[in-house]
Structure 1
Amino acid sequence: MYPSRIVCLTEEPTEVLYAIGEEDRIVGISGFTVRPARARKEKPKVSAFTSARISEILALEPDLVIGFSDIQADIARDLIKAGVEVWISNHRSVEGILGYIRRLGAMVGAADAAEDLACRAEAHLDQIRDAASRLPFRPKVYFEEWDDPLITGIRWVGELVRIAGGDDVFPELTEKSLARDRILADAGEVVRRAPDLILGSWCGKRFRPERVAARPGWDAIPAVQRGELFEIKSPLILQPGPAALFDGLDALHARIAACAHRDH
């Protein structure tokens, strides 16, 4: 028997289940869910990212709770102790997102619909990869996930930057799965790596390009000199689900392509 009462502690399982036509199985969602928009109107919100209302989740009588990463380990522990089945995924790459879509679809008996969604995502990745190959040059990109302290982009973001036609200026940090391992101790290192384009996605708050440009010494960065500082909305790129592979990738490619064409 497939699970029929699912609580989603993050946005990506909600987005996937709606995309494959299995949204009726969802009985609770994260309060941070914005995709799809109708989910916020249709489903009760029972969790944040690092906290959840355990009693409210239990009252929904879920037969499966889906979460993401070690950050939700405490929530998972409490639910498991209460006898609830929990699946915590921990995928951090583009391939991981594709695999996640396929696994989640199989778990709810919708493997074919999930395969179709994953194949459409793969085709879109190939389409953008092909468009990126025709850019006049590959801009150097600094992606900032948080501003205090400075945290660079996670692995799937770095991979999508490359697919979109840019080169992440901190490739050695994208491999680090934990945010604490992607903290820049020296902001001057961004200056030294001289990105052509700065993209920011500060999870939970608006990116402020004017504040970034005003950092000491950053006026020497080509991106700052040319005004190439832009926000990528966090729901598009910081959730390891379909949004990143479609709208998030499109947003990255649009900024990278515009930068490449302006400079050549």
Structure 2
Amino acid sequence: MLFIDQLHRQITLDNPPRRIVSLVPSQTELLYSLGLEKEVVGITKFCVHPLTWFREKTRIGGTKNIHSGIIRQLSPDLIIANKEENLAADVELLMQEYPVWVSNIQTLEDAYSMITSVGAITDRVDAAASIVSRIKAGFSSLQPFTTAVPTAYFIWRDPWMVAGGDTFIHHMLQLCGFRNVFGEQPRYPVITATQLANSGCRRILLSSEPYPFKEKHIAELQAILPDAHVQLVDGEMFSWYGSRLLEAPAYFQTLIKKQHKN
């Protein structure tokens, strides 16, 4: 059968895959939600959900330091990757030996398409359709801020890095009614304290990943913007685009309610 990935590449499989390697944490969790316990044979060291897979499945390295030798030992008949999270050079090398399906996600609609396509290629069409339907229902009931809140979403410290405009995080912020003050910049720009101070930002969200921001870091940002509200947020809710989206709307709604009180 012929399948098209989100880079518009064609992938041909004679049968549904029986040995899958996932190179992306959020897509690993999706494979679990699709019921592919036996089929998934390899994951990354960052694929922490579900915990049973993290403990038991063979780890093939990180998202950006893939061990091709371990993958070769697993003899996969399908590898699932992502344009942003995996290095192009690694993916291109794997493509020479295996069918590799690559996602490219910047919006919720892209996520829906990915889930549907992964369901099709793994012979889990109905399960994927159910997940998409439930995610859509959750987001349809989300009540965002009625007035956009100028916000910066931090992903790294030393140097300070934030989410720019062409990211999935940016789209999630928009759905909540946050206005990304660095939305005109691409990807994940490095910013200075001066840029932040002059940004008009009223809310600072410190993500739990990839940098593990803690309470002790709040004071550093508060010193730059004394009048802004600074808080920690669950990065998985903003950046995981698989079945974790089932939980995101309720999390966002709680976050919005808390922000209204500040």
What is the TM-score normalised by the length of structure 2? Answer: 0.83
Letter aligned with residue 192 of structure 1: N
1:210, distance to aligned residue in structure 2 (A) = 4.0
1:33, distance to aligned residue in structure 2 (A) = 0.8
User: Structure 2: how far apart are the matches of 1:89 and 1:132?
Assistant: 28
Number of the residue aligned with 2:240? 239
Contact 2:30 / 2:243 at 8 angstroms: preserved in 1? yes
Which of 168, 179, 183 matches 2:190? Answer: 183
Which of 115, 125, 150 matches 1:140? Answer: 150
Contact 1:139 / 1:260 at 8 angstroms: preserved in 2? no
1:249, distance to aligned residue in structure 2 (A) = 4.3
Whether 1:156 and 2:168 are equivalent positions in the alignment is yes
Pairwise CA RMSD of aligned residues? 2.3
Letter aligned with residue 158 of structure 1: H
1:198, distance to aligned residue in structure 2 (A) = 1.1
Letter aligned with residue 196 of structure 1: R
- How many residue pairs end up in the alignment? 245
User: Structure 2: how far apart are the matches of 1:69 and 1:145?
Assistant: 19
Contact 2:131 / 2:246 at 8 angstroms: preserved in 1? no
1:209, distance to aligned residue in structure 2 (A) = 4.8
Letter aligned with residue 232 of structure 2: E
CA 1:138 to 1:257, structure 2 compared with 1: closer, same or farther past 3 Å? farther
Which of 92, 95, 104 matches 1:77? Answer: 92
1:93, distance to aligned residue in structure 2 (A) = 1.6
1:75-224 → structure 2 map (5 Å cutoff): 75-81=90-96, 83-128=97-142, 131-132=143-144, 137-153=147-163, 155-173=167-185, 176=186, 178-179=187-188, 182-184=189-191, 186-201=192-207, 203-214=209-220, 218-220=224-226, 222-223=227-228
1:191, distance to aligned residue in structure 2 (A) = 1.8
Contact 2:155 / 2:210 at 8 angstroms: preserved in 1? no
* Range 32-41 or range 233-242, more displaced: 233-242
User: Structure 2: how far apart are the matches of 1:207 and 1:253?
Assistant: 22
CA 1:246 to 1:151, structure 2 compared with 1: closer, same or farther past 3 Å? farther
The 4+ residue runs of structure 1 with deviation greater than 6 A are none
User: Structure 2: how far apart are the matches of 1:151 and 1:248?
Assistant: 23
User: Structure 2: how far apart are the matches of 1:40 and 1:34?
Assistant: 5
1:212, distance to aligned residue in structure 2 (A) = 4.8
Structure with the bigger percentage of helix = 1
User: Structure 2: how far apart are the matches of 1:105 and 1:172?
Assistant: 34
User: Structure 1: how far apart are the matches of 2:154 and 2:250?
Assistant: 18
What is the TM-score normalised by the length of structure 1? Answer: 0.82
Deviation by residue 1:145-193 (Cα, 9 ceiling, x = unmatched): 11233222252212212222322222223xx3x43xx332x33222223
SS of corresponding position for 2:87: helix
1:23, distance to aligned residue in structure 2 (A) = 2.7
Identity of aligned residues (%): 23
Structure 1 gap ranges (5+): none
User: Structure 2: how far apart are the matches of 1:117 and 1:215?
Assistant: 38
1:259, distance to aligned residue in structure 2 (A) = 1.6
Contact 1:166 / 1:256 at 8 angstroms: preserved in 2? no
SS of corresponding position for 1:172: coil
Number of the residue aligned with 1:35? 49
Contact 2:105 / 2:168 at 8 angstroms: preserved in 1? no
Contact 1:15 / 1:242 at 8 angstroms: preserved in 2? yes
